Amino acid sequence: MASACKTAEPAPTPPSPATPATQPQPPADSRPLSPGLDLAAMNEQANPCEDFYEFACGNWVKNTEIPADRPRWSRGFDAISARNEDILREILEGVSKGKAPEGLASAQKLGDFYGSCMDEAKLEASLPVLRAELAKLTAKNAKDLARVVGTLHAQNVFPLFRMGANTDFKDASQMIGEVDQGGLGLPDRDYYLKDDEKSKALRDAYIEHVKNTFVLLGEPAETAAKSAVSVLEVETALAKASMSRVERREPKNLYHRLERKGLKAEAPGFPWDEYFKAAGAGNVQALNVSHPPFFKEVERLAKTMPAAAWTPYLTWNYVSSAVPALPKAFQDERFRFSQNLTGAKEDVARWKKCVRFTNMALGEALAQPFIERTFGAEGKTTTLQMVQEIEKAFERNLDTLAWMDAATREQALVKVRKIVNKIGYPDKWRDYGAMKVDRESFLRSILGANAFEQARQIAKIGKPVDKEEWLMSPPTVNAYYNPPFNEIVFPAGILQPPFFDREATVPVNFGAMGMVVGHEITHGFDDEGRQYDAEGNLRDWWTPASDKAFRERVACVKEQYDNYTAIDDVKLNGALTLGENVADLGGLKLSHAAMEAWLARDAEAAKRAEGSRYTPSQQFFIGYAQSWCSKYRDAYARQLAVVDPHSPPYWRVNGPVGNLSEFQKAFQCKADAKMVRPAAQRCEVW
């Protein structure tokens, strides 16, 4: 679905630009490094004013190998995720053997879901169940097609387009239905539309992958090849009608509340009533159509495509969604193709897959024992104090913004004061009682989990928004700002070293986790988030003068990142990454100011921070950079340059610090240093 969530998840690290001549910077003295910082990760021989990422992460990058089963490895997100997965595995192994923590309501479902996933012998027997489902995917006419597509959508499989629930952009208190573009097998529409050699080679590999999958289903090779070409033809038509990722960053582009009658008028050749009935949404009338021209194309395809073309396309969508529950040959084929996109050397171990699938399906049930093991009251209290300190820093900073007039400043103040802070885990756990799980069949378990989730989404339509709902499971290593809820959310999964370390100094924690907090707060005021008011409604609360001044400032950020290289000949897309770059810049500035305010009133924390070879401000920036030390495989870096709204970690570190006088002062950088942008080019938004 079209989502307004903004997350902190990283993008790839490009190869460093030509290494500048190093200017050795010996430590100021022999005092130890601050708790929370990693001396082994640093290259202290590099000049922080010339390449700060190299200074903070150089030895980590030099000495770290990406695990064979991963497309990337980071000192922050991935290292924490791996630790979390070990804990979740231990929990699930026990639950699947009947050793569940006392009082865990969904223990049986957790154990059966994970147990069925781990029973690889039974996966080999899944084809009869699959073939029985595939036999239903025939469409002789548009009415048949609408019925089959609706039936698949009810199972959380989305050929042609996506359907679910979303907040009404203009009334954030209500949930309405939404239909959105979709139906593609490759990560982005651009993969279908570009004519460069790499894109053509990837499409060829994709056709081969689809063909091989049909062969595994029992089709003769010649028939399978034709089926694969047919699939690509449908997907290419859908890609051509799709909005780009940059276009979808503009909220107004995604809001067209036409209702069901309006959709039927827009694309009358598609049997919408038949579709909604089959999708389990027969009574839904309130409807946002995210991109009306896309559904004109859906109508055209339904009317003009030969009936024989739909069976391969629908089959491919169904099988592709079910691969984790199919025999090993299907999974091996999926991995073989995925290497084109990720560069991973080995497939992920089965237990890791099963932990991830269980977290996706039953995340709030699995979270309960996870929380007990990993997240104490101290972590929640300290994080909340940090959040509140940074929100105060935002308020103080508003008074310094000469470009913003009083009327707009007052509205911004109202909005930041109404931000809801969610930390650790929900106050109320999700009820999974209606989910069907089968210990004897992981395929049936996945089907049951998918159907449960889609039914849960459909049931929201026409009801008030549930402001207590979380959009990530608590073990997830991430964070987000959600504009329609005007909330920032920090799952317990991310509140661990190196982002949050109980033993670290205050500056290190503010540089790592505090920056993430400031980042998410700033998302409420980036080029997308600023279009929503304090109540979460899409409403223009800016005066023309402040609006013009804001646009000028974010244009500076776009231009800055347009000039950076993601990898090889691939440049960053400053428009795609604009919101995240603005949030990084604002997050660092706000968190640094909050750290200074904290130390000014906490003498003990200030004294502890001073007992290090680096000053508090230096600790802050090193703590920030070290939470982003990362390495990426080239294929994955290329993919994320196309699809990821985040800049690569190298530029997430070196990009914003060049705009901050606080960084220049902390490391006493000269005005002509590479990490100091000339005054005329310096970007500042918040």
- pLDDT computed for residue 375 by the predictor: 86
Percent of the chain having pLDDT more than 90? Answer: 89
The phi and psi torsions of 154 (rounded to 5 degrees) equal: -65, -20
- pLDDT computed for residue 383 by the predictor: 85
Torsion of the alpha carbons at 186, 190, 194 and 199, rounded to the nearest 10: -30
Distance CA 185, CA 312 (A): 13
- pLDDT computed for residue 1 by the predictor: 47
Alpha-helical regions (H) of 347-505: 350-374, 377-398, 406-417, 442-460
Query: Residue 252 pLDDT more than 70?
Result: yes
- pLDDT computed for residue 2 by the predictor: 43
Query: Residue 27 pLDDT more than 50?
Result: no
**Is residue 8 very low, low, confident or very high in pLDDT (cuts 50, 70, 90)?**
low
Name the residue among 238, 275, 250, 543 with its Cα closest to residue 411.
543
| Mean pLDDT, range 126-132, rounded to an integer | 92
Summarize pLDDT for 214-237 with one digit per residue, the tens. 999 999 999 999 999 999 999 999
| Mean pLDDT, range 506-532, rounded to an integer | 96
Query: Residue 473 pLDDT more than 90?
Result: yes
Helix (H, G, I), strand (E, B) or coil at 488: strand
- pLDDT computed for residue 29 by the predictor: 55
- ∠ CA 596-521-13, rounded to 5°: 90
The label of the residue with tokens 């699995």 reads 366
Which positions ≥6 away from 418 have C-beta within 8 Å?
486, 534, 535
Cα atoms in the 13 Å half-sphere on the side-chain side of 375: 24
Helix (H, G, I), strand (E, B) or coil at 531: helix
- pLDDT computed for residue 30 by the predictor: 67
Query: Residue 296 pLDDT more than 90?
Result: yes
For the question of residue 222 being annotated catalytic, the response is no
Distance CA 181, CA 453 (A): 20
| Mean pLDDT, range 614-638, rounded to an integer | 96
Percent of the chain having pLDDT more than 70? Answer: 95
Name the residue among 139, 242, 251, 131 with its Cα closest to residue 191.
242
- pLDDT computed for residue 7 by the predictor: 53
Distance CA 642, CA 372 (A): 39
| Mean pLDDT, range 64-83, rounded to an integer | 96
- pLDDT computed for residue 23 by the predictor: 44
Active-site position among 85, 178, 584, 644: 584
Read off the tokens for 474: 């608590």
Of residues 10 and 140, more confidently modeled: 140
Across the chain, what does the average pLDDT equal? 93
Read off the tokens for 623: 């703590």
**Is residue 250 very low, low, confident or very high in pLDDT (cuts 50, 70, 90)?**
very high
For the question of residue 78 being annotated catalytic, the response is no
Task: Decide if 239 contacts 193 (C-beta within 8 A).
Answer: yes
Name the residue among 622, 487, 509, 667 with its Cα closest to residue 49.
667
The phi and psi torsions of 669 (rounded to 5 degrees) equal: -75, 140
Cα dist from 378 to 80, 367, 502, whole Å: 19, 18, 9
Cα dist from 183 to 264, 341, 526, whole Å: 20, 19, 30
- Rounded to two decimals, the pTM is 0.92
- ∠ CA 658-662-666, rounded to 5°: 100
Amino acid 341 reads: L
Summarize pLDDT for 347-402 with one digit per residue, the tens. 999 999 999 999 999 999 999 999 988 887 777 888 899 999 999 999 999 999 99
- pLDDT computed for residue 6 by the predictor: 53
Summarize pLDDT for 640-679 with one digit per residue, the tens. 999 999 999 999 999 999 999 999 999 999 999 999 999 9
Task: Decide if 634 contacts 568 (C-beta within 8 A).
Answer: yes
The dihedral through the CA atoms of 148, 150, 155, 161 has a sign that is positive
What is the C-alpha end-to-end distance of the chain, expressed in Å? 30
Active-site position among 520, 527, 580, 644: 520
Cα dist from 290 to 180, 205, 247, 645, whole Å: 5, 31, 12, 20
- pLDDT computed for residue 12 by the predictor: 46
| Mean pLDDT, range 29-58, rounded to an integer | 91
Task: Decide if 506 contacts 523 (C-beta within 8 A).
Answer: no
The dihedral through the CA atoms of 649, 658, 645, 77 has a sign that is positive
Query: Residue 439 pLDDT more than 70?
Result: yes
| Mean pLDDT, range 22-49, rounded to an integer | 77
- pLDDT computed for residue 9 by the predictor: 54
What residues form DSSP beta bridges with 337? none
Name the residue among 208, 119, 80, 113 with its Cα closest to residue 495.
80
Which positions ≥6 away from 400 have C-beta within 8 Å?
none
The label of the residue with tokens 């009820």 reads 431
**Is residue 101 very low, low, confident or very high in pLDDT (cuts 50, 70, 90)?**
confident
- Which of 124-138, 448-462, 538-552 is predicted least confidently? 124-138
Q: Read off the DSSP letter of residue 391.
A: H
Summarize pLDDT for 312-359 with one digit per residue, the tens. 999 999 999 999 999 999 999 999 999 999 999 999 999 999 999 999
- pLDDT computed for residue 20 by the predictor: 39
Task: Decide if 80 contacts 358 (C-beta within 8 A).
Answer: no
Query: Residue 293 pLDDT more than 90?
Result: yes
